[in-house]
Structure 1
Amino acid sequence: MKKLLPPVLFLFFVIAMAVACSLQGSPHHLSGGYNLLAVPFVLLGLGLSFMGSSLFRKIGTNIMTFGAPDKLVTSGPFSWTRNPMYLGFVISLFALAFIMGGAYSSLALAVVFLVITDRWYIAFEEKVMRQKFGADYDAYCQKVRRWI
């Protein structure tokens, strides 16, 4: 799983949600257009992910999950969440689950993505960041929460 980058996992989960909804005939609990109220949240989530990755590129630091970090980024969306890109993916997946009718299978897949992200990717990255930046990273963690 070390080679599976988060954006690829995100796309895999989007496809898995669509397949679970259509092929398995999962019951849909939202209808009548109410599910479309989630569209802005998909855009918000993707925008947040894009903002985080754009800031990494602008600052010129490594964005690859399993690569060595170059700089400790604490500005922009990183000033209120330590993981804006992951948070954006999670927001988008939950919103897509509602767009797909709020089927339990879609919501469950969004939760699974959240757990994988939190326990695998973020745990790995935080360990590496702590080793590289030490007290500076610990101070950042005291000020800014992991998610929100």
Structure 2
Amino acid sequence: MGKKEASWVSHAAAVLLLPFNVTVIIPSLLLYFLPFQFVWGTEGGLVFLVGGLGLAAVLFGLLLVVLTVRQFAKRGKGTLAPWDAPRKLVVSGPYRYTRNPMISGVVCILLGESILLGSVWLAGWFALFSTINYTYFIVGEEPELEKKFGDEYREYRRNVPRLLPRRTGWRQGE
């Protein structure tokens, strides 16, 4: 008998342990323990322009994370966590445009936070996190997905880019 669909508790735990830690806990600790000075100043139009750009990145990233968690639950029958990964290959929703929208969402949140707060430490965390994850995709995750899903994943990989999104959403069998 196969595994059951992941529960809402499994999804909540995965979100709290992974993207919440990466985008809230670690940035909070960096800002608390390391010297911080708001680099954009406190007056003028630049603050609002930069703040708006940072806020837009955070909100867009949050939207991507929510949409991908939903796809993992509905279509993949699993969570974003590697210990309870989707049992079916997810190629719908944001996954029609890029192979890694979950991490792209987290990266957008981190970039937005570093812009919004003008923090060099948060920018460094954004760069480190992005580098580690995109390297992991190439050497770890993609070979495992190919083993797990075979030709279905190879077709998906041929048609959907890893990072920069397609202009139009891909549909299986195109």
Is TM > 0.5 for Structure 1 vs Structure 2? Answer: yes
Q: Identity percentage over the alignment?
A: 28
Show the counterpart of 2:96. 79
Show the counterpart of 2:126. 110
TM-score w.r.t. structure 1 length?
Answer: 0.81
Report the secondary structure of 1:42's partner residue. Answer: helix
Task: In structure 1, list runs of 5 or more residues that go unmatched.
Answer: none
Q: Deviations over 1:53-110 (max 9, x none)?
A: 1111122522222445411111110001111111000011001101112x32221111
> RMSD of the alignment, in Å?
2.6
Show the counterpart of 1:90. 107
- Summarize the alignment of residues 3-22 of structure 1 with structure 2, pairs less than 5 Å apart: 5-7=17-19, 8-19=21-32
Task: In structure 2, list runs of 5 or more residues that go unmatched.
Answer: 1-13, 165-174
- Summarize the alignment of residues 13-92 of structure 1 with structure 2, pairs less than 5 Å apart: 13-19=26-32, 23-26=34-37, 28-29=39-40, 31-32=42-43, 33=47, 34-37=49-52, 38-63=54-79, 64-92=81-109
Q: Structure 1: how far apart are the matches of 2:116 and 2:68?
A: 25
State the Cα distance separating 1:136 from its structure 2 match. Answer: 1.5
Is the CA contact (8 Å cut-off) linking 1:52 and 1:77 kept in structure 2? Answer: yes
Q: Which moved more, 1:107-116 or 1:7-16?
A: 7-16
Q: Structure 1: how far apart are the matches of 2:83 and 2:156?
A: 21
Q: Structure 2: how far apart are the matches of 1:30 and 1:78?
A: 39
Is the CA contact (8 Å cut-off) linking 2:31 and 2:121 kept in structure 1? Answer: no
Q: Structure 2: how far apart are the matches of 1:83 and 1:30?
A: 35
State the Cα distance separating 1:12 from its structure 2 match. Answer: 3.7
Taking a change above 3 Å as real, the CA distance of residues 123 and 49 of structure 1, as seen in their structure-2 partners, is: farther
Report the number of matched residues: 143
Q: Deviations over 1:29-59 (max 9, x none)?
A: 4653233212121011011111011111122
